[in-house]
Amino acid sequence: MQIDSPTAREIGVFDSGVGGLTVLRELRRLLPDARLRYLADTAYAPYGGRSADDIRARSMAITEHLIDCGAGLIVIACNTATAHAIEALRARWPALPFVGTEPGIKPAVAATRNGRIGLLATSATAASARLRALIDRHANGREVIVRGCPGIVEHIEAGDLDSPLLRRLVEEHCAPLRQAGVDTVLLGCTHYPLIEPLWQAALAPNVELLHIETAVARRAVDLWTPTGGNATLQVETSGDPTTLQDWIAQVLGWRGLHVQAWAHENNNGQQVLTA
């Protein structure tokens, strides 16, 4: 597949669902004139409980679609997909720039006062070799307590940002970090900033929360050359477009945005909308 110069293309962004919209929001703020396309793989969300092979396969199919639509830069607005797929994507498309999303171990090391750092992530990210290598490379002797958080993404995808059940789940995941005495916590999933007040309440007011979406967007800005012309925003989903459209209007306040359906076809030409 031939990839044109990014000076004539759009920026493709993808996530398993709505979490990557936190990155998209920053991209819109930093690049108001850019052509942006976002794909939420909500029919297959969450990625956190999927196998590494499944995550790579979905990421490959989505990237190919974004390239076909005109992407000259891909932002993987998903910690889990970055952990399990970015190396395979770079190997498949070596001429295409990719921006991944990873927990900021180095900023956390700089921020911690007592040397104990918490990391809240999906189960797949928490178990990934890429995360372990990141910690080994940058922790510099600080203790990093990693907590996989099954169940959180499902609530956020459903638009539940503050129910008693979600609060209990957040408390369950934060309790080990409190017991470990962490003073800095990384939100290691792009969904998690959407419920930042719940994390803060379950940890402590003096625990510093760090997330990554602004840094990811700024890295994309560094790699991007403005194309001129009119800005565009296209949002697609492998799930139900109306549900995502309503979620975006309710949570982000982006009203009047039309969400389109995307169907991935397998090798037999059959549409694959769900796992």
Task: Look at residues 175, 190, 211 and tell me which one is the last residue of a structural domain.
Answer: 211
Average pLDDT over residues 125-152: 96
How far apart CA 213 and CA 193 sit, in angstroms, is: 9
With contact defined as beta carbons under 8 Å apart, do 157 and 45 qualify?
Answer: yes
Q: Are residues 49 and 177 in the same domain?
A: no
Higher pLDDT, 136 or 6: 136
Q: Is residue 184 part of a domain?
A: yes
The average confidence (pLDDT) of the chain is 92
Q: What is the pLDDT of residue 267?
A: 42
* 119 bridge partner residues: 146, 186
78 close to 24: Cβ distance less than 8 angstroms: no
* Predicted pLDDT at 228: 66
Does one domain contain both 244 and 115? no
Identify whether residues 203 and 238 lie together within a single domain: no
In a domain, 136, yes or no: yes
- The answer to whether 47 is annotated as binding is yes
User: Looking at the structure, do residues 239 and 258 belong to the same domain, yes or no?
Assistant: yes
**pLDDT tens digits, one per residue of 185-240:** 999 999 999 999 999 999 999 999 998 999 999 999 999 987 766 889 999 999 99
Read off the pLDDT band of 273 (50, 70, 90): very low
**Average pLDDT rounded to a whole number, residues 45-56:** 94
Beta bridge partners of 99: 75
Same domain, residue pair 171 and 235: no
Assess whether 224 and 161 both reside in one domain. no
pLDDT of residue 144: 98
Beta strands at 264-265 and 271-272: parallel, antiparallel or unpaired: antiparallel
Instruction: Identify whether residues 63 and 136 lie together within a single domain.
Output: no
Residue found under tokens 């029919």:
43
Residues 92 and 109 both lie in one domain = no
Give the largest Cα separation in the chain, rounded: 56
Q: Which pLDDT band, with edges at 50, 70 and 90, does 34 fall under? A: very high
pLDDT confidence bin for 263, thresholds 50/70/90: confident
pLDDT (0 to 100) of residue 265: 57
Q: Is 16 among the annotated ligand-binding positions?
A: yes
Judge whether 149 counts as a catalytic residue.
no
pTM of the model: 0.89
In a domain, 239, yes or no: yes
Nearest residue to 112 via CA among 248, 209, 178, 187: 209
Distance between CA atoms of residues 225 and 228, nearest Å = 9
**Among the three residues 180, 211, 242, which one is the final residue of a domain in this structure?**
211
Q: Is position 140 annotated in a ligand binding site? A: no
Mark whether 131 and 195 lie in a shared domain. Answer: yes
Q: Tell whether 94 and 219 lie within a shared domain.
A: yes
Q: What is the DSSP letter of 97?
A: -
Residue 117 has pLDDT above 50, yes or no: yes
Q: What is the mean pLDDT of residues 28-38?
A: 94
**Residue 116 scores a pLDDT above 50:** yes
Is residue 5 a known part of a binding site?
no
Task: Tell which of 190, 211, 232 closes a domain.
Answer: 211
- Domain match, 120 and 181 both: yes
- Look at residue 1 and tell me whether its pLDDT is greater than 80: no
- The response to whether 65 counts as a known ligand-binding position is no
CA dihedral 249, 250, 253, 258 (to 10 degrees): 0
Across the range 116-138, mean pLDDT stands at 96
Q: Residue 111 domain-assigned?
A: yes
pLDDT at site 61: 97
Please give the residue range of the domain that contains residue 191: 105-211
Q: Which of 4-13, 161-170, 256-265 has the lowest mean pLDDT?
A: 4-13
Domain count, the chain: 2
Residues 219 and 143 in one domain: no
Listed range (10-24, 61-75, 170-184, 225-239) with the worst mean pLDDT: 225-239
